[in-house]
């Protein structure tokens, strides 16, 4: 049928263009009076599309962006092909001028066994156009048998296709209109209307919408609210087509102006409902627009949501009951109401409406852990959480007394300080019966309160998932993609709002019939480029104004599949540090963002507390037991201070401690004898290296001399041959000291260490001697042995900006050498033989970190651009990588029962990502 339609519109356009080409230099002939093409539209047409400027629309169809994607659909691609055929003719100025005012009106009509017939109506300017169209018809009718007859004073022509009987066409000229149709009946109806001067223009609803239609937009669309649901239902699954087909009482008429640009399709217009009858949209006529607040409680994984925003809940309830009386549904409502009263002692409207404040929402999420039904929620904004809690508790008590069955309550514990009470709710169709078809298939078996919102779901598991998203601030209010789409809204106030995140069309497949379902599957990648659409309805001077959009993007960005994501105030600055809650023994995360705010986050992703700091943290965060009482604190430094924070986010004792001189490196924390007598090393701009105890006091007996240059890397400690060593490097010289700061050995040779080269310790074993290893500015590897001797090894040539570190990645007992230079990771074994290399195609590559999965399984992890990589020891990339990530990452078990590792990394748009790694 689609192919038939675009062939038909093509013939119509060819006729019009051919006519213009033939009459350029001829007399215009008899002029017709200006006549509105709507006169030729069947009165009961379901859908009317009017093109005010056909030439402009044809030109637009060759543009990039939205049109480029639309042209991949066969029915629309035909228009572009026609435009290309006309390009030569249209380039002639005289033809172009004649096409300036060309219009086209297209109308549908369902006939017989749900057959969609289409009529095309062209206005004619003169009798010459009529004559030449007839000649063009003869030209294009080689495969047709032409016959004609008189009907209502007009000549009705039948073009009978000799090859394909399904593509017969009928046309007639009538009072300055050329009407072409796939249906003889539709054409006859149009001719009768034209003869009797009886058309949609006589109907008040259509007149109102026609007045405000814009001739400056690409399309004017008019929808018959009574008959359109049947047209809409034809492509749907039978289960839903019956439901849609019955929506004949939604509105009388709708008129929308459509503008198609490179990155969006904008719609705006009005809904008109006859106030003598009672259509659903009339319920909104006495409601003033209300500011949307519900977005703060809608999870970011929501696929579709809609909301009624009521300024007068009482008026809405009264009008809704009148609406149900007219539609014949009041009996079911009254039966439900009586049943509710018998079981709870209160009518449902008396239970819920006193609590309600403005907003009633339907949420359909896309949570793959839940089944389809469990992804649907009803959300109500209430005046007071405490009053709502009291109402639910009372309802449960009365129900238990009357029904001799106690309703269950559950506690969803987020962490030791936060939990949510969930109520069993005994009326599974509560939302559907209270607010109608909007909540079709939405079950309300359980209920919870989140702040001032009452949330109903099909199961306690679905409510738990819902709560977890809200706790982690993963809501539409904080979702950057969603907020970017709202730029197409006129404002944030409405009486009704609906929003859909389209994706690949999977959400719509459920409702589609078999053919449409196949079309959606075939065009999944095309659909993804139209990521969202929305519509708003608001009452303006007793007319319901409609504003909507369909957005477009040429580049597809898939959201990362994470265990959870948590919203921060700002982007994450550092590698998240996994710490232990000493009370619950649960694992938590601590880190700082780019605005120097310190966070503690629970294993479920909830922010437990935030602490603003004056400066960025240098290095990592250490967990200590400062008072040796098994209560743990967090120790770290900034450039000017040493901090000790308890697990509640409070400063401990006399901390923070101000340094005598600004720090040049992160603190190094050592517990020599595992007795919690901590020692803290720090180097400063005065070229001294200080030693502090856990109270922040300088340790007596530390004898280290002044450094020659600033020390930028953290101090290191190790034991070799029963001797303790404290070592560090000032960029030119390695310092090898005892625990008291005394020189154990002085290197025989110094070298200029590369800026991004890390001083590493090679432990003594059968394959290597204990030494300190680093590289100079050319990449030459220097080994400083504990007796002071220095040797070198050349493994390759590198720039002075190269990154270097050393680690036994292949687990052979000897340290390997890891270089990153010009965006290329290269790993050499201890002998200098290359193990592998990898080109990231970007020079924005972080310093590598190392991860131990088992004693024989170690991996390299790093960030390159906006992706994170995890390499196996042979250079292959670990399954599932790269992943989206914007910082160094931590890997470990966040929950004791987990079988998978968790990976924590900075995400996009101020998010913290938690990935599962097998």
Q: What is the pLDDT of residues 99-110, one digit of tens each?
A: 556 788 999 888
Contact 52, 186 (CB under 8 A): no
b/e burial code for range 296-311 (CB count within 10 A of at least 16 → b): bbbbbbbbbbbbbbbe
825 in any annotated domain: no
What pLDDT does residue 620 have?
Answer: 97
What pLDDT does residue 16 have?
Answer: 38
258 in any annotated domain: yes
pLDDT at 614 over 50: yes
Q: Which of 174, 202, 230 is the last residue of a domain?
A: 202
84 band by pLDDT with thresholds 50, 70 and 90:
very low
207 in any annotated domain: no
Best-predicted range by mean pLDDT among 29-43, 258-272, 630-644?
Answer: 630-644
Q: Same domain for 432 and 344?
A: yes
Best-predicted range by mean pLDDT among 121-130, 241-250, 562-571, 631-640?
Answer: 631-640
Q: Same domain for 367 and 442?
A: yes
Q: Same domain for 96 and 234?
A: no
pLDDT at 6 over 60: no
Q: List the single range of 260-264, 686-690, 794-798 with lowest mean pLDDT.
A: 260-264
Q: List the single range of 20-29, 456-465, 500-509, 652-661 with lowest mean pLDDT.
A: 20-29
72 band by pLDDT with thresholds 50, 70 and 90:
low
Q: Same domain for 273 and 312?
A: no
pLDDT at 85 over 70: no
Q: List the single range of 127-136, 591-600, 655-664 with lowest mean pLDDT.
A: 127-136
22 band by pLDDT with thresholds 50, 70 and 90:
very low
Q: What is the pLDDT of residues 475-524, one digit of tens each?
A: 999 888 888 888 888 888 899 999 998 766 676 777 777 777 777 777 76
360 in any annotated domain: yes
Q: What is the pLDDT of residues 875-908, one digit of tens each?
A: 999 999 999 999 999 999 988 777 789 999 999 9
555 band by pLDDT with thresholds 50, 70 and 90:
confident
Nearest to 783 by CA among 801, 764, 770, 802: 770
Q: What is the pLDDT of residues 625-667, one digit of tens each?
A: 999 999 999 999 999 999 999 999 999 999 999 999 999 999 9
| DSSP-assigned states of every residue in 505-565 | SHHHHTTB-HHHHHHHHHTHHHHHTS-EEEEEEEEETTEEEEEEEEE--SS--PPP--SEE
What are the beta bridge partners of residue 901?
A: 917
Q: Taking the CA of residue 153 as centre, how many other CA atoms within 13 Å lie in the half-sphere pointing to its CB?
A: 9
Contact 121, 107 (CB under 8 A): yes
328 band by pLDDT with thresholds 50, 70 and 90:
confident
Q: List the single range of 30-39, 347-356, 364-373 with lowest mean pLDDT.
A: 30-39
Q: Same domain for 185 and 40?
A: yes
pLDDT at 12 over 60: no
Q: Same domain for 382 and 258?
A: no
> What sign results for the dihedral spanned by CA atoms 860, 861, 864, 869?
positive
What pLDDT does residue 759 have?
Answer: 98
Q: Same domain for 463 and 407?
A: yes
For residue 400, give the DSSP letter: H
572 in any annotated domain: no
What is the mean pLDDT of the segment spanning 700-726? 96
Best-predicted range by mean pLDDT among 217-226, 352-361, 531-540, 762-771?
Answer: 352-361
Q: Same domain for 297 and 400?
A: yes
Q: Which of 554, 580, 614 is the last residue of a domain?
A: 554
- Cα–Cα distance between 820 and 811 in angstroms, integer? 20
Number of domains in the chain: 3
Q: Same domain for 349 and 415?
A: yes
What does the angle CA 677 – CA 678 – CA 680 come to, to the nearest 5 degrees?
150
What pLDDT does residue 261 have?
Answer: 86
456 in any annotated domain: yes
Q: Range of 540's domain?
A: 215-277+479-554
Q: Which of 493, 522, 554 is the last residue of a domain?
A: 554
Q: Same domain for 363 and 494?
A: no
197 in any annotated domain: yes
- Cα–Cα distance between 783 and 773 in angstroms, integer? 5
What is the mean pLDDT of the segment spanning 150-161? 91
Q: Same domain for 537 and 394?
A: no
93 band by pLDDT with thresholds 50, 70 and 90:
very low
Q: Same domain for 411 and 459?
A: yes
What is the mean pLDDT of the segment spanning 683-710? 96
188 in any annotated domain: yes
């Amino acid at each position: 049928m689609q192919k038939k339609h675009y062939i038909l519109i093509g013939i119509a356009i060819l006729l019009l263009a051919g006519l213009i080409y033939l009459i350029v230099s001829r007399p215009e002939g008899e002029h017709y009076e200006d006549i509105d093409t709507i006169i030729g539209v069947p009165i009961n047409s379901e859908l009317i599309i009017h093109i005010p400027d056909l030439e402009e629309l044809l030109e637009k169809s060759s543009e990039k962006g939205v049109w480029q994607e639309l042209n991949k659909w066969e029915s629309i691609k035909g228009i572009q092909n026609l435009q290309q055929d006309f390009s030569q003719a249209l380039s002639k100025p005289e033809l172009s001028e004649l096409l300036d005012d060309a219009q086209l009106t297209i109308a549908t009509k369902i006939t017989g066994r749900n057959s969609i017939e289409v009529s095309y109506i062209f206005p004619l300017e003169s009798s010459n156009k009529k004559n030449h169209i007839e000649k063009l018809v003869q030209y294009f009718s080689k495969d047709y048998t032409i016959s004609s007859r008189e009907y209502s004073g007009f000549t009705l022509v039948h073009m009978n296709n000799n090859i394909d009987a399904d593509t017969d066409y009928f046309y007639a000229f009538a009072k300055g209109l050329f009407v072409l149709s796939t249906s003889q009946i539709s054409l006859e109806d149009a001719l009768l209307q034209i003869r009797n001067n009886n058309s949609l223009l006589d109907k008040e609803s259509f007149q109102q919408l026609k007045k405000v239609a814009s001739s400056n937009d690409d399309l004017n669309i008019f929808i018959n609210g009574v008959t359109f649901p049947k047209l809409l239902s034809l492509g749907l699954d039978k289960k839903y087509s019956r439901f849609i087909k019955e929506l004949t009482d939604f509105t009388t008429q709708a008129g929308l102006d459509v503008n198609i640009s490179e990155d969006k399709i904008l719609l705006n217009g009005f809904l008109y409902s006859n106030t003598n009858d009672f259509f659903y949209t009339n319920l909104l006529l006495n409601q003033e627009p209300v500011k949307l607040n519900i977005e703060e409680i809608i999870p970011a994984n929501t696929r579709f949501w809609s909301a009624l925003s009521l300024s007068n809940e009482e008026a809405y309830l009264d009008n809704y009951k009148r609406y149900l009386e007219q539609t014949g549904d009041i009996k079911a409502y009254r039966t439900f109401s009586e049943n509710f009263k018998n079981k709870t002692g209160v009518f449902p409207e008396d239970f819920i409406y006193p609590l309600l404040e403005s907003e009633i929402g339907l949420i359909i999420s896309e949570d793959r852990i839940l089944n389809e039904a469990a992804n649907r929620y009803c959300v109500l904004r209430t005046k007071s959480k405490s009053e709502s809690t009291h109402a639910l508790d009372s309802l449960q008590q009365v129900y238990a007394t009357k029904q001799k069955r106690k309703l269950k309550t559950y506690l969803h514990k987020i962490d030791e300080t936060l939990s949510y009470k969930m109520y069993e709710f005994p009326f599974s169709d509560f939302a559907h019966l209270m607010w109608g078809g909007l909540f079709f298939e939405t079950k309300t078996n359980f209920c919870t309160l989140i702040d001032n919102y009452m949330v109903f779901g099909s199961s306690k598991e679905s409510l738990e998932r819902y709560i977890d998203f809200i706790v982690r601030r993963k809501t539409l209010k904080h979702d950057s993609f969603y907020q970017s789409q709202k730029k197409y809204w006129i404002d944030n106030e409405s009486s009704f709002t609906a929003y859909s995140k389209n994706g690949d069309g999977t959400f719509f497949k459920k409702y589609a019939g078999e053919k449409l379902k196949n079309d959606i599957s075939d065009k999944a990648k095309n659909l993804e480029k139209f990521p969202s659409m929305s519509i708003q309805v608001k009452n303006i001077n007793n007319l319901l104004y409609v504003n909507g959009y369909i957005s477009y993007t040429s580049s597809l960005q898939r959201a990362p599949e994470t265990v959870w994501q948590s919203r921060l105030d700002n982007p994450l600055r550092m590698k998240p540090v996994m710490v232990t809650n000493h009370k619950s023994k649960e694992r938590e995360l601590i880190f700082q963002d780019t605005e120097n705010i310190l966070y503690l986050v629970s294993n479920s992703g909830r922010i437990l507390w935030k602490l603003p700091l004056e400066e960025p943290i240098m290095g990592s965060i250490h967990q200590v037991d400062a008072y040796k009482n098994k209560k743990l604190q967090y120790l770290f430094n900034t450039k000017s201070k040493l901090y000790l924070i308890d697990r509640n986010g409070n400063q401990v004792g006399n901390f923070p401690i101000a340094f005598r001189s600004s720090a040049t490196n992160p603190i190094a924390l050592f517990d020599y004898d595992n007795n919690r007598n901590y020692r803290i090393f720090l180097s400063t701009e005065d070229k001294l290296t200080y030693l502090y105890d856990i109270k922040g006091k300088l340790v007596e007996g530390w004898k280290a001399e002044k450094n020659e240059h600033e020390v930028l890397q953290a101090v290191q400690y190790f034991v070799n041959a029963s001797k303790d060593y404290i070592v560090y490097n000032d960029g030119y010289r390695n310092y090898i000291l005892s625990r008291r700061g005394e020189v154990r050995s002085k290197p025989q040779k110094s070298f200029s260490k590369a800026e991004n080269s890390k001083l590493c310790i090679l432990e003594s074993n059968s394959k290597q001697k204990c030494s300190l290893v680093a590289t100079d500015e050319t990449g030459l590897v220097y080994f400083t042995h504990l007796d002071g001797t220095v040797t070198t090894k050349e493994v390759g040539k590198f720039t002075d900006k190269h990154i270097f570190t050393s680690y036994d990645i292949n687990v052979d007992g000897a340290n390997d050498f890891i270089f990153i230079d010009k965006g290329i990771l290269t790993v050499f074994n201890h002998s200098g033989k290359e193990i592998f290399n990898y080109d990231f195609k970007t020079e924005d590559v972080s310093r590598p970190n190392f991860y131990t999965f088992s004693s024989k399984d170690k991996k390299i992890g790093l960030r390159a651009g906006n992706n994170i990589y995890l390499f196996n020891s042979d250079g292959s990339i670990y399954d599932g990588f790269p992943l989206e990530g914007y910082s160094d990452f931590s890997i470990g078990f966040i929950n004791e029962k987990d079988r998978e590792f968790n990976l924590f990394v900075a995400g996009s748009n101020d998010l913290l990502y938690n990935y599962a790694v097998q």
